[in-house]
Amino acid sequence: MLSLRILDLFIALLYLSGAISFLVGLIYSRKKIQDVSVSLTLTGFVLHSVDLGLKYALGLGEVLTQSQFYISLLAWTFLLMFLLLWWRLKLKFLSLIAAPLALLIFTWSLAISPATLPVPGLLQGLWFGLHIGSLFVSIALMAMAFGAGLAYVHLDRKIKSKSRLGNVARDLPSLSTFDRANHWAVLIGFPLFTLGTLAGFIWAAFTWRTIFTWDPKEIFTVGIWFVFAWLFHKRATGGWKGKKPAQLAILIFVLSLISFVGINFFTETHHSLRP
């Protein structure tokens, strides 16, 4: 529908405005511009929520078989996790990661053709929903850990080298704040990643009559799980803090992007999102 298309473009414009204005506010140390940026992003998020609801209602559930809807939902989840961390930790800086990522993924969802996904019946669909929902929230949390990790590594390098801090570095929160965001993302994200992965294997048992098919996506996901499990263990029981967990969080998110984009779209798998 034309009206939904216009709404989509308006949401993309709000995300773009939010991303650019926050960067400008950060470079020139203008907190009011940063606040406007967050407001623009929040408005885009609200309209994005309406957009997803309308597409589901008008599609009578058929959108649940289209990759476009799920990619748009992933972009929405990124913003949801950013807003929760912003509310809880006052980490407005993460808008610099959340808004551009949401913009890229949302516009990507508008550009691709509506490839059909093999969504199973009701019972399997419950596991499918748990699989998708848990993994999306986990990936969104790791996106925030990715942003916090990059900021931590950058600020830590500046401090240790005793380099002059520019406007951007001076306006950054403390290292402990970024470390706390990383800590939260890992402690919540790993159980969700585990839940989503297990739900995916159960769904596979219903759909393909086997839990593990040696599909490239499955192999890559198990590899990510082991890296994630190591970080979770060190964070939860070892009191691991600082630069190393920040770097590992960056790696996990990069691997997650490779899995979602590279394998889903450029490899022949059960999870292929190509039309």
Q: Which of 225, 197, 226, 227 is nearest to 212 (CA)?
A: 197
**What pLDDT, on the 0 to 100 scale, is given for residue 231?**
93
Backbone angles phi, psi at 120, to 5 degrees: -80, -170
**Closest Cα to residue 94, out of 103, 84, 104?**
84
- List Cα–Cα distances, 250 to 103, 145, 227, in angstroms: 20, 7, 12
Domain ranges in the chain are 1-115, 118-275
In degrees, to the nearest 5, what angle opens at C-alpha 122 toward C-alphas 116 and 128? 60
Residue 225: the pLDDT is 93
Give the model's pLDDT for residue 142.
Answer: 92
Distance CA 45, CA 37 (A): 12
- Predicted confidence at residue 258, as pLDDT, reads 84
What tokens were used for 152?
């931590």
Model pTM? 0.81
Instruction: Output the tens digit of pLDDT for each of the chain's 275 residues.
Output: 667 888 989 999 999 998 898 888 877 778 888 888 889 999 999 999 999 998 888 875 566 667 778 888 889 998 998 888 877 777 777 777 888 888 888 888 887 665 555 554 444 456 677 878 898 899 999 998 998 898 888 888 878 877 766 656 666 777 888 888 898 899 999 999 999 888 888 877 776 677 767 777 788 888 999 999 999 999 888 778 888 999 999 999 999 888 877 666 666 665 554 44
Beta-carbon contacts of residue 212 (< 8 Å; ≥ 6 apart): 201, 204, 218
CATH 1.20.120.1770 holds for 118-275: yes
3-state secondary structure of 31: helix
Task: Report the C-alpha gap between 242 and 244 in whole angstroms.
Answer: 6
* CA separation for the pair 230, 263 (Å, rounded): 23
By C-alpha distance, which of 71, 88, 43 is closest to 188?
Answer: 88
Query: Which phi and psi angles does 109 have, rounded to 5°?
Result: -65, -30
How many helices (DSSP H) and strands (DSSP E) are in the chain? 10, 0
